[in-house]
Amino acid sequence: MRISFLLKAAVLSVMSLKALAQDPIEHLWLSEEKTGKIQIYKATDGKFYGKLVWLKIPNEDGKPKVDKHNPDKAKRNDPILGMVLMRGFSKADDRHYEDGTIYDPKTGKTYSCKMTLNGDNLDVRGYMGISLIGKTTKWTKTD
C-alpha cells in the first residue's frame, strides 16, 4: 500500500512539472469561425508552430480537403488536415509571440503573423509588410 501511494505521488509530481514547463500558448485553439482547431506546440528549435488537427467539414466531394490553392503545384493534392499552418514564432514576453508566419489554405497565401494571449483567447494577427495593415482573428482555447 505504501509503495502504491509513493508511486502515485511520483506520477503526480512528474505531471505537475510537465504542466509547469508547458508554455501557456501550448493548447488546442478553435478558430473564430469555429471551422478548425489548431494545436500550438513548441518544437525542438524552441519556436512555436500550429498544426490543423480538426476541421468542421473535413471532406469535399467525398474526399479529404486538399491544399488546392497552394502556389506550389506539387503540393496541391496535400491534405489540409494535419498541415502545419503556423511557423517559427518566438516568445517576446508573457503574452506576445512574434516573427512567425501563418498560411491560409483558402487562398494559398502566407502572411507574417504575431499572436497575443488574453486568458483563454488568442488574438492572431496576419499581415503583409507592417502589422498595421492586416487582420486579427480571435481564437478560443478549447482543450
Q: What is the pLDDT along the chain (143 residues), one digit of tens a residue?
A: 566 554 455 444 444 444 457 999 999 999 999 999 999 999 999 999 999 999 999 999 999 999 999 999 999 999 999 999 999 999 999 999 999 999 999 999 999 999 999 999 999 999 998 888 899 999 999 97
Closest CA to 99 of 114, 109, 84: 114
User: Distances in Å between the alpha carbon of 72 and those of 8, 58, 69, 78, 101?
Assistant: 51, 22, 9, 11, 17
Give the pLDDT confidence score for residue 4 in this predicted structure: 54
Q: Rounded to 5 degrees, what angle do the CA atoms 77, 143, 30 make?
A: 50
Q: Is 103 exposed, middle or buried (0-12, 13-18, 19+ CB in 10 A)?
A: buried
The conformation of residue 113, written as its DSSP 8-state character, comes to E
Closest CA to 52 of 78, 29, 32, 25: 29
15 phi and psi angles, rounded to 5 deg: -65, -40
According to CATH, the topology of domain 24-141 is: Lipocalin (2.40.128)
User: Distances in Å between the alpha carbon of 19 and those of 26, 40, 48, 59?
Assistant: 10, 15, 17, 35
Amino acid letter, residue 61:
D
Give the pLDDT confidence score for residue 13 in this predicted structure: 46
